[in-house]
Structure 1
């Protein structure tokens, strides 16, 4: 058995994705014959969160503790160096295949209240490959009797085929930036400064970011675009719920050099404490959000 469980291949014409049973993650995506995300070997675990689904919170919760409706809750410390809980509860757990077709798959998992979350959530994630790219939908249903807070994020690293990410240009539709303390916990949100603004595009090799931005996507919902020399591009889009984007540019991803993650999030780090854009799901309610990746190559 592979560390990420069964590998689920999805195909639509020339486009292909690989989804993993463990974590319901995205291990590969090829559109128009080009790799559009960083992949990893089938016999390894996802490096630096690659392709992960981050539920019921993205990013970090300070000190792995928060208060909900007057009651303190504690989570497992999963970022030991900073003492935080990071990236939710489901990215290392097996998911169940609920429905499967040649070009799509729907997987399900459950957030148990005993894991430190205020109430139970049934989570379904659907991947669908199309002629233009990949669409991903997350549906969170409150199966308990009380309101439950939630946030959603994902962790794709973008690519444009064989082009070295360091040589590509990154554009991010964001007009605000989040300042953080030494634990990577937000202290303020402010307008981007001239040297921080990615709306005009910056070379990835010139960036050193592990930074959250407030999204300012246009009508097309595009949050970030990675463009290779020559003009071929990979775009990440999200619906209106994805009001935040984490940009992470590690120097080396599993021995392959510089990489760039563009992570759509419905709330910023520590939303369980701050309440910023934290979604409250009523008993019996289902909250649905969507995002995806597509080719935007110059013809």
Structure 2
């Protein structure tokens, strides 16, 4: 598998051509994300860029501009189309220097998604962490539905995930069906086990939900912070283009490794937005869309 290594200050990162994925990110030799082995395959979508939709499309079916479409279901146990079309592709190198790399891909238009997009991701390391920007351009002749998110699993430190102290600046979460994780309604976190507005241990709480009503600061940024009781930690910051945030405690049934890291996925739209239309981006011919986020040591 072709991959690219970048470094700046006390940070290093490895990005793979497959899926344009972040394979590892380290600060002073400490892993900030759950890595995956060199040479692939990529387990659990770790570090990928999910585009042109994040999360799920129910039954792989949706309607856009009055036309019904169907994309392949790649999550058969839930009957959903998961994480877009870009992750199976080998992305093309656009530029690279010691501290940054830019890759791009152009998913082939299909009957289920007959739109021509070019998606590029820039990974740039600096003294304050890893900064990522995804730019999508509609290079076709038809308006396209679009959404995007990253898919890192953050690592606070060596203690079990249950002991990590989590802070999520979100006032609402999206209740989902237990079997398929499809949207039902947004609910306040007030009085609920998903209220992490004040930092507290994750405990035994299992999360695979989208959050919204996010508190952005005066500079238009929001941050999730997760700390190990031993004193290390990791944070992720993103901008207002992502009004949704998927959090997943990586719960697995034996013999799969359980709760290895915390998936933190700033999303431009919620699950099944291709059907609900909620915060769905309409990318007109010739138009571009940009979303950015950063990961840093705490």
TM-score (structure 1 length as normaliser): 0.92
Shift of 1:119: 1.2
Q: 2: distance between equivalents of 1:148 and 1:55? A: 12
The number of residue pairs the alignment matches comes to: 292
> Is the contact made by 1:252 and 1:258 (CA closer than 8 Å) also made in structure 2?
no
> Is the contact made by 1:166 and 1:258 (CA closer than 8 Å) also made in structure 2?
no
Shift of 1:115: 5.6
**Residues 164-203 of structure 1 aligned to structure 2 (within 5 Å):** 164-181=160-177, 182-195=179-192, 196-203=194-201
Selected match of 1:120 from 116, 121, 128: 116
Q: 1:144 to 1:44 in 2, by over 3 A?
A: closer
Q: Which residue of 2 aligns with 1:227?
A: 227
Q: Which residue of 2 aligns with 1:213?
A: 211
Partner-residue secondary structure (3-state), 1:166: helix
Structure 1: segments with no counterpart, 5+ residues? none
What are the Cα deviations for residues 202-237 of structure 1, in whole angstroms up to 9, with x where unaligned?
323422111111151332523311111144321101
> Is the contact made by 1:103 and 1:128 (CA closer than 8 Å) also made in structure 2?
yes
> Is the contact made by 2:33 and 2:261 (CA closer than 8 Å) also made in structure 1?
no
Say whether 1:83 aligns with 2:54: no
> Is the contact made by 2:238 and 2:294 (CA closer than 8 Å) also made in structure 1?
yes
Shift of 1:255: 3.4
What are the Cα deviations for residues 108-153 of structure 1, in whole angstroms up to 9, with x where unaligned?
1012321621411111000001111100000000111121110001
> Is the contact made by 2:122 and 2:132 (CA closer than 8 Å) also made in structure 1?
yes
Q: 2: distance between equivalents of 1:215 and 1:242? A: 11
Residues 56-65 or 278-287, more deviating: 278-287
Say whether 1:62 aligns with 2:62: no
> Is the contact made by 2:156 and 2:234 (CA closer than 8 Å) also made in structure 1?
yes
